[in-house]
Amino acid sequence: MPAQEVMDFYGYKGFFGKMRYAIKFVWRFFLDKVAFFCFVKSWRTVIHRWRGVNIGKGVYIGHEVMFDRVFTDQIFIGDNTSIGDRTIITAHANIPSETRLKKIYPRQVMQTHIGKGVWIMPNVTIAPGVTIGDEAVVATGSVVTKDVPPRVLVAGVPAKVVKDLSEKLNS
């Protein structure tokens, strides 16, 4: 995404706005690499918070989890959620090259919300703007393109509800 569009989104103007954005981007990029190679699970969570991801208490973040690199602060994760290895969580979608497809698919920045007590298994991809309800489970390899209700198991590409967990959680 061109820097000017990101600066406009955050309200940065002029030379000092450009410098502020550059420093923020480089800092977040550096922290992303540190978190990627960090072997201490509690440190990964702290590093991602420093990057700007809104992370609740008691959250586990697996190895090699990728959060949106430009709009990290548009991702919200509830308390006691577990995110499996190699998961991708995004908050924006755009076509970076100059193509006529941009007319059909304009740039979008959308908040992504993951509820409390959610279990995201490894290798899941979560699209921008998705909300995953509290105590939901997302199966390995799923691609979440639409909101997930609370207390369900979703699986597949695209992810669909395959089991209601309400009864088992209430007993």
Q: Which of 48, 63, 92, 113 is catalytic?
A: 92
- Residue 92 bears catalytic tag: yes
The sign of the CA dihedral 37, 39, 40, 45 is positive
φ, ψ for residue 106, nearest 5 deg: -70, 160
User: Going by C-beta distance under 8 Å and a sequence separation of 6 or more, which residues neighbour residue 118?
Assistant: 78, 81, 82, 132, 133, 134, 135, 136, 137, 138
* Contact in structure between 123 and 140 (CB atoms under 8 Å): yes
Neighbouring-strand partners of residue 153: 137, 163
For residue 96, the SS3 value is coil
- Catalytic amino acids? 92
